[in-house]
Amino acid sequence: ITVKLLSDGHSIAAGVFEFINRPQILQIFPSNGGVQGGSLVRVSGSGLTGVTTCRFGTLGIVPAKVEDDNRLSCTSPASISPLDVLMGLSHNNQDYVTSNVVFQYRAEPRILMIAPSYGYFSGSKDLYIVGENFIDSKK
């Protein structure tokens, strides 16, 4: 819409104001990444056209790459420790719409030992991996 400033019934200034849809995050993938940052996070939602930045809690603001109105991606900034943060999006780099979608920062996994150190192509041997910061998984 056009906004006009009037003085004595005469237009002395005008500007344009546009109504846009609030961006909404429905899902992110992956939902976790390392504390060193650098994870490419794909966001699916609605009203994403024109989004310029993603916010990862209070850790940082990074550029958004919009694919279409329902998809964008951004790269996670680094964190000093493992923690969960809420994702936010902005059209103007100032006002952020925060979602209930959480990105989880995790400590990098480390492998300390693999036993045995060899195996035959035919398989049939259990492999034991000892380490730290593994994430529980059913896979």
Position 72 pLDDT exceeds 70: yes
Per-residue model confidence as pLDDT tens digits over 10-45: 888 888 888 888 999 999 999 999 999 999 999 999
DSSP one-letter string for 58-78: TTEEEE-EEEETTEEEEEPPP
Angstrom distance (rounded) from CA 116 to CA 89? 48
Q: Mean pLDDT throughout 33-58? A: 96
Quote the pLDDT of residue 139: 56
Contacts of residue 104, Cβ cutoff 8 Å, sequence gap at least 6:
31, 32, 33, 82, 83, 84
Per-residue model confidence as pLDDT tens digits over 81-138: 999 999 999 999 999 999 899 999 999 888 999 988 888 888 777 888 888 888 776 6
